[in-house]
Amino acid sequence: MRINYDLQDLKSFVAVAERASFRQAASDLFLSQPALSRRIDKLEEGLGVKLFERTTRRVQLTNVGRAFLVNVRTALDGLEDAVLGVADLAAHRTGTVTLACVPSAVWHFLPEVLKQFSECYPRIRVRVHDESAQDVLNLVKDGQADFGINFTGAEDAEIEFAAIYVERYVLAMRHDHPLARRKKLSWKETINERFISVAKSSGNRSLIDTALAGIEKHPPIFCEVNHVSGVLALVEAGMGVAAVPGLSVLPGRPDGIVGVPLVNPSVERTLGLISRRHHSMPPAARTLFEMLGAALLPRRPRAR
């Protein structure tokens, strides 16, 4: 059965049912009575049933009409909720924003902006995936994250990359290590140290290995861990030293780990806001993305 009716036909049916009068319903809908009658006739014809019993004195729903009224009201309420839901999303009243971020950048870049965003849009939830560089890139490319902060993706044709911070790698060590007071260290000076490193699958490890490819003697690696947080835990325990991104060991850490810039060669990585090229973000995600951009891009600070 092909049913030929539209939303106005359903609203007209509800108005007549609630008013039990074509005249009053027509007045409410700003229609003439003949026009309203044609809408109801069209609806009944399309459904193949009689919805109203009409006499010169009254209009009354049939049994089928009463059952249909319940369903129509439910459908119209659901449609209204859907429309209001879209309006809420567009007005940033509800919704969820998902972003992916390499761990060292989470606490350095996000807290101040996320606090401001939450104060402006308290009903919007924010989900942060703090993952490895490759996982962050994959989450953004697969659409599981609206955008991300990462140091990989600049060469990817599917990704827009906006640089926000150039970060130098440092030698992380305990504050009581003999080298802890140095202003800088060459890689050659670290040859005799016991190095702890992230695994070869890590983006950090790949970047360091590439930068040191031309050096004759590489520092020996005695222990590998999957994440920088694990590396730093072992450094704190006195097991050795590690080459890590500078943001990981900014001054003031409660564990007393310090970082000394590594030179000859200097190893750096560029962090950036990444998003899918030619893809429109949801309104709330676009707002947070632009807030981060406004807070970070104009400064483009460089690690010292």
How many CA within 13 A on the CB side of residue 40?
25
Q: What topology does CATH give the domain 95-163+271-296?
A: D-Maltodextrin-Binding Protein; domain 2 (3.40.190)
Q: What CA–CA distance (Å, rounded) separates 102 from 104?
A: 6
Question: Do the Cβ atoms of 219 and 75 come closer than 8 Å?
Answer: no
Confidence of residue 212 (pLDDT cuts 50, 70, 90): confident
Classified as helix, coil or strand, 127 is: strand
Give the pLDDT confidence score for residue 304 in this predicted structure: 40
Give the pLDDT confidence score for residue 252 in this predicted structure: 64
Give the pLDDT confidence score for residue 181 in this predicted structure: 93
Give the pLDDT confidence score for residue 3 in this predicted structure: 54
pTM exceeding 0.75: no
> Is 90 exceeded by the pLDDT of residue 303?
no
- The stretch 197-211 carries a mean pLDDT of 86
Residue scoring higher pLDDT (72 or 261):
261
- The stretch 103-125 carries a mean pLDDT of 86
Residue-wise DSSP of 241-256:
BEEEEGGGG-TT-TT-
Give the pLDDT confidence score for residue 11 in this predicted structure: 87
- The stretch 282-292 carries a mean pLDDT of 89
- The stretch 118-126 carries a mean pLDDT of 87
> Is 50 exceeded by the pLDDT of residue 302?
no
**Which of the listed ranges 6-10, 54-58, 84-88, 261-265 does the model predict with the highest average pLDDT?**
261-265
Equal CATH topology for 95-163+271-296 and 166-269: yes
Confidence of residue 298 (pLDDT cuts 50, 70, 90): low
Confidence of residue 239 (pLDDT cuts 50, 70, 90): very high
Which of 12-16, 19-23, 248-252 bottoms out in mean pLDDT, i.e. has the lowest? 248-252
Give the pLDDT confidence score for residue 92 in this predicted structure: 54
Confidence of residue 121 (pLDDT cuts 50, 70, 90): confident
Q: What value does the CA radius of gyration of the chain take, rounded to a whole number of Å?
A: 32
Domain boundaries of the chain, sorted by first residue? 7-89, 95-163+271-296, 166-269
Q: What topology does CATH give the domain 166-269?
A: D-Maltodextrin-Binding Protein; domain 2 (3.40.190)
Q: What topology does CATH give the domain 7-89?
A: Arc Repressor Mutant, subunit A (1.10.10)
Angle at CA 299, nearest 5°, toward 298 and 302?
A: 140
Question: pLDDT of 213-227, one tens digit each?
Answer: 877 777 889 999 988
Give the pLDDT confidence score for residue 159 in this predicted structure: 95
- The two structure tokens encoding residue 3: 């049913």
Of 40, 64, 51, 46, the closest CA to residue 3 belongs to 46
Residue-wise DSSP of 4-42:
---HHHHHHHHHHHHHT-HHHHHHHHT--HHHHHHHHHH
Which of 86-100, 162-176, 228-242 bottoms out in mean pLDDT, i.e. has the lowest? 86-100
Residue 162's beta-bridge partner residues? 273
Question: pLDDT of 60-110, one tens digit each?
Answer: 899 998 888 888 888 877 776 666 556 555 555 557 889 999 988 887 888
| pLDDT, mean over the chain | 85
- CB count, 10 Å around CB of 202? 20
Q: What CA–CA distance (Å, rounded) separates 244 from 167?
A: 10
